[in-house]
Copies of this chain bind each other. A is one copy, B any other.
Amino acid sequence: MLETLNTRRSVRAFKSDPIPEKYIRDILEAAMNAPSAGDERAWQFVILKEQALREEYAKLNRNVPSIRQSPVAIVICGDTSREKYPGLYVYDCGAATENILLAIHAKGLGGFWGHVFPETVANNRTLLNLPEYIIPYSVVPFGIPLNGLPPAKTRYDESRIHLNGW
């Protein structure tokens, strides 16, 4: 398990092979078993498969061009109607996104954490037909890595650790 945490790397180039439904389900299950504030689970998941939709998504979100190649992508959204504590959906969605990336890696697939920047939220909402109370948070394109998995190199850095205060 620690190895999975330590060897995950961002993958941004994909083969076009489709991903089995069971894999997508398992990845979403891991997402929904993430911790959330007061167990509120203020998340929703939009699965992008249609090629035309992914092409359109790439046009509206310039930071994720490889969503054109990836056979599937998950848009992780905050559901403000389910928040117990206003604004904490960002914690829930962050934990869910990381679980998605780890589950992708555990399956031998690759993907990366694409941000939904504030200036593209409205475009995301229109394209994906999201209600006003849903806030797109991140997008994870994934698939079989085109060039295998990048080698792991630990980023452990002792200078970031402070004992009993700064």
Contact = CB atoms under 8 A, between A and B. Distances in A.
Interface residues on A, range: 35 or more
A37 to B, nearest CB: 7
A66 interface: no
A115 B7 CA distance: 27
Interface in A72-91: 85, 88, 90-91
| 4 A-B pairs with the lowest CB-CB distances in the bound complex, closest first | A94-B94, A1-B106, A98-B98, A5-B30
Interface of A: 1-2, 4-8, 10, 25-26, 28-30, 32-35, 37, 41, 43-50, 53, 85, 88, 90-91, 93-95, 97-99, 101-103, 106, 112-113, 115, 127-131, 134, 138, 154-157, 160-166
